[in-house]
Structure 1
């Protein structure tokens, strides 16, 4: 039996909705690359000596006589036994809190330090920066010992599903790719372990590497040392059917309600 117009138009409306939502499907996928994109080669030897950059927060401590005071505090924890160690450890923590100051690296790469004023530290690793500061402070202190730590080192993780991205602080300079993925909860159900991107800020610009962690051979990539500022992006698997259904379901529900109302009106009108 041929379909009447009032029976056809709901299906036409559904088709139009599907076609209209086609351009919005998988819009949450980021960092797309063309098929012929040339990824940067994998380099298993990573430079773990993080270089200070603008907007970094730096914890700074300075001791004279090559840290004699610091050494006496730590030595007391050994000589005093367990109870002495606890007491000395509390004193050491208090001393660290009193002597530790946090400074921000300015956009021009300098840090405003006591007695020195602005000092250019951007581009140096921690050892180089400590050596530079010890040399500058040697004019006012005997055998100065400088201790630096970048306190806002972090990695951004996108594990393959919307709404679960996280920022992982780096407390260990030798943290691996596998460790930060584990800290973020692992690759999510929709994430594609064959397509893991590592986006890193380099001296000559951004570098983009792609890893396949779906097989045992991926261990050589999983043990890659991450660096502060890295972006780890697990590309999600496309879910065409689910997203189309999610877009169409409200429309189907509305059309079903309208159809029921039309049918009810027709029945009432026929009875009259």
Structure 2
């Protein structure tokens, strides 16, 4: 009886082996736009705010309505903030971008200067919610990154890269985001441009002389660079099996200890 019990546990553990995410652009991949969108969101979520970033802050009331700025602050923004949306007579928070200055702070309506440098967008949301709670009841804050940027996807890892100037090249962005490791395919780089539902996709091979002609390719805002990883199924499977064996060994040890103590 005990033998079958242990076999059942082993089968359960082995069935929990993770299945690997399909490589983008493979023949089996039918949900390219959805995967690209998810990877893009992950990259944006992990991005930390830096100096010279433009941050858009949306503040809601407890009832879900956008907060309207007081007239005095509204007039100041109209005078000093060139990025204020002049088509919005009420100047709601949602349509205004704020610069993160060299000291890492952004000057925001009502709460003044707030240190945002080094925070993720989620962390900024939490901090600003605390700040605005002193002035509004149960506010809800959403912070968004408003710079021109590109996203670099190396396998399933994404990096958001701000465009500091209008003429930055493909090779410069790859180098600035860690370069090419041995786990990436230099011959299978894809530049994805436009609407993710129907994007333009350019295949770039930097392992050939002809492909190197693309190294000076000027990137555009919201471009996505996808570099396919080199898959090593045996090593990946071995890593999974090692983890499962460790779990199973620990479980068996615990069971034997309980049995010995119960005698």
State the TM-score, normalized to the length of structure 1: 0.45
Q: If you compute each CA radius of gyration, which structure gives the higher value, 1 or 2? A: 1
